[in-house]
């Protein structure tokens, strides 16, 4: 149970004694899951009596860093990362009573091969395919997919590499991942020859944002192709968020920096004579991404491959860029609140038109593109 404040915000009882580090709704908007510094996961569910009230559904010892719902056909599934250096998948067991701490069971757990904590992750569901992208403290990127599409208890490695080079364990980790959560590439990319089944994601370090596209061949490993490398020199990058279904033909990635500004990165795709991704041309991706390591095979269950077999980043040559549509990135707007507070978390609405940010000022800011094409803040609210 809880109460609603005069400002319209609902407060919860039975909340964490320590700071809440992550929170997310499920796909239906009827449940909220939180991860907190006391290493407990808590799920709140809308009351059956009063739809404006929320009740504690279950809580158990889990993770403290990040949590996400996976919207799939496998029931209620959560994915988490935490300070124990593990990525875990939790699945609800309807036969267990709720509020007892046994409703959700860990069905998969993985530690990165460099034995450090995962810093950020994201997932995407495309029809029957599920992909989870993770990056560790040392910058090791890993792409996972279910080994068996009928269950999520076993996962295999699709790709693993260091997009920004291997970072020292003592360094400050600033990494973020965001998939393009849409049914497919935007209209401009499709006209340029990008296959409609390709998947896109952005990975950021403190000073750079890389953009990748990939497809899922049935007879070989997933191969990520780097299509854009965008340096950021004015402010250290904190996080990235790719607009899911942006109405404009260009892709838009919001980049939050520690100088208090949110920079809108617009990605355009130019037509090329040869497609980057084709319906049956997965070998193009493999040749571009893995051409320098023909003697290496990363098995789909290759977690045990070891660090020596994970390739380091390499420059994309002009000849390789010429094999597919050329991607160009441009900062089209720099947004900043009146207080100049840095944004720590960003989330797009499902239509890709509105960006919601929260940061040091304790407010939620809503940003939108005007009819004239200019990005601006059109609303803000304080948590009181």
The model's pTM? 0.83
pLDDT digits (tens, 9 = 90+) for 198-207: 999 999 999 9
Side-chain-side CA neighbours of residue 131 (13 Å) = 27
pLDDT digits (tens, 9 = 90+) for 231-251: 998 778 999 999 997 777 889
Give the CATH number of domain 111-351: 2.130.10
Q: How many residues in the chain? A: 384
User: Kind of pairing, strands 225-231 and 237-242?
Assistant: unpaired
Domain boundaries defined on the chain: 111-351
Residue 341, token pair as written in the block? 């507070």
Pairs from 8-16 (Cβ < 8 Å, separation ≥ 24): 9/383, 9/384, 10/52, 10/53, 10/54, 12/44, 12/54, 12/56, 13/56, 14/42, 14/56, 14/59, 15/42, 16/40, 16/42
> Does the structure show a pLDDT above 50 at 322?
no
Range 285-300 average pLDDT? 36
> Does the structure show a pLDDT above 70 at 291?
no
How far apart CA 146 and CA 300 sit, in angstroms, is: 10
Lowest mean pLDDT among 93-102, 162-171, 311-320: 311-320
Q: Report which of 327, 343, 324, 200 is spatially closest to residue 261, judged by C-alpha positions.
A: 343
Q: What is the pLDDT of residue 323?
A: 59
What letter does residue 303 receive in the DSSP assignment? G
Q: What is the pLDDT of residue 98?
A: 85
Q: Name, in order, each residue with C-beta under 8 angstroms of 352's C-beta and a sequence gap of 6 or more.
A: 182, 243, 244, 245, 246, 247, 252
Binned at pLDDT 50, 70 and 90, residue 328 comes out as very high
Lowest mean pLDDT among 120-134, 138-152, 197-211, 320-334: 320-334
3-state SS class at 289: helix
pLDDT digits (tens, 9 = 90+) for 246-268: 777 889 999 999 888 999 999 99
E strand or H helix at 209: strand 208-214
Which single residue is written with the structure tokens 């049956």? 280
Q: What is the pLDDT of residue 126?
A: 85
Q: Name the phi and psi angles at 319, rounded to 5.
A: -65, -35
3-state SS class at 206: coil
How far apart CA 370 and CA 374 sit, in angstroms, is: 5
What letter does residue 247 receive in the DSSP assignment? S
Instruction: Give the 3-state secondary structure of 27-58.
Output: CCCCEEEEEECCCEEEEEEECCCCCCCEEEEE
Binned at pLDDT 50, 70 and 90, residue 217 comes out as low
**Do 265 and 255 touch, CB atoms closer than 8 A?**
yes
> Does the structure show a pLDDT above 60 at 7?
no
How far apart CA 378 and CA 376 sit, in angstroms, is: 6
To the nearest whole number, what is the mean pLDDT of the chain?
81
Q: What is the pLDDT of residue 73?
A: 76
> Does the structure show a pLDDT above 80 at 321?
no
3-state SS class at 285: helix
pLDDT digits (tens, 9 = 90+) for 373-382: 899 998 988 8
Binned at pLDDT 50, 70 and 90, residue 43 comes out as very high
Binned at pLDDT 50, 70 and 90, residue 281 comes out as very low
Q: What is the pLDDT of residue 227?
A: 94
Instruction: Give the 3-state secondary structure of 220-231.
Output: CCCCCEEEEEEE
What letter does residue 301 receive in the DSSP assignment? T
E strand or H helix at 59: strand 54-61
């Amino acid at each position: 149970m809880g109460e609603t404040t005069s400002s319209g915000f609902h407060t919860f009882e039975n909340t964490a004694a320590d700071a809440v580090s992550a929170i997310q709704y499920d796909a239906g908007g009827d449940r909220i899951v939180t991860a907190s510094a006391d290493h407990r996961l808590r799920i709140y569910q809308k009351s059956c009596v009063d739809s404006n009230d929320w009740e504690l559904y279950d809580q158990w010892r889990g993770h403290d860093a990040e949590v996400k719902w996976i919207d799939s056909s496998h029931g209620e599934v959560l994915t988490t990362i935490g300070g124990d250096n593990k990525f875990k998948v939790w699945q609800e067991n309807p036969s267990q009573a709720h509020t007892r701490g046994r409703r959700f069971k860990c069905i998969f757990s993985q530690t990165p091969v460099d034995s450090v904590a995962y810093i950020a992750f994201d997932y995407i569901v495309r029809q029957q395919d599920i992909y989870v992208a993770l990056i560790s403290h040392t910058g090791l990127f890993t792409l996972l997919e279910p080994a068996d599409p009928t269950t999520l208890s076993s996962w295999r490695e699709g790709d693993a590499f260091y997009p920004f080079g291997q970072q020292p364990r003592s360094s400050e980790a600033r990494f973020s991942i965001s998939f393009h959560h849409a049914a497919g590439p935007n209209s401009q990319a499709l006209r340029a020859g990008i296959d409609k089944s390709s998947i896109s994601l952005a990975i950021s370090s403190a000073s750079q944002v890389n953009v990748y596209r990939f497809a899922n061949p049935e007879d070989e490993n997933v191969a990520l192709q780097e299509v854009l490398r965008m340096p950021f020199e004015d402010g250290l990058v904190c996080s990235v968020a790719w607009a899911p279904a942006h109405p404009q033909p260009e892709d838009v990635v919001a980049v939050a920096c520690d100088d208090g500004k949110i920079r809108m990165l617009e990605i355009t795709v130019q037509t090329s004579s040869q497609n980057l991704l084709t319906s049956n041309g997965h070998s193009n991706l493999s040749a571009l991404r893995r051409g320098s390591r023909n003697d290496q095979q990363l098995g789909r269950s290759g977690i045990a491959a070891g660090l020596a077999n994970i390739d380091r980043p390499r420059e994309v040559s002009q000849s390789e860029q010429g094999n597919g549509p050329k991607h160009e990135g441009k900062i089209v707007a720099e947004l900043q609140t009146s207080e100049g507070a840095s944004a720590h978390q960003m989330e797009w609405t499902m239509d890709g038109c509105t960006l919601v940010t929260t940061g040091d000022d304790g407010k939620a800011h809503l940003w939108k593109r005007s009819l004239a094409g200019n990005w601006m803040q059109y609303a803000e609210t304080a948590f009181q």
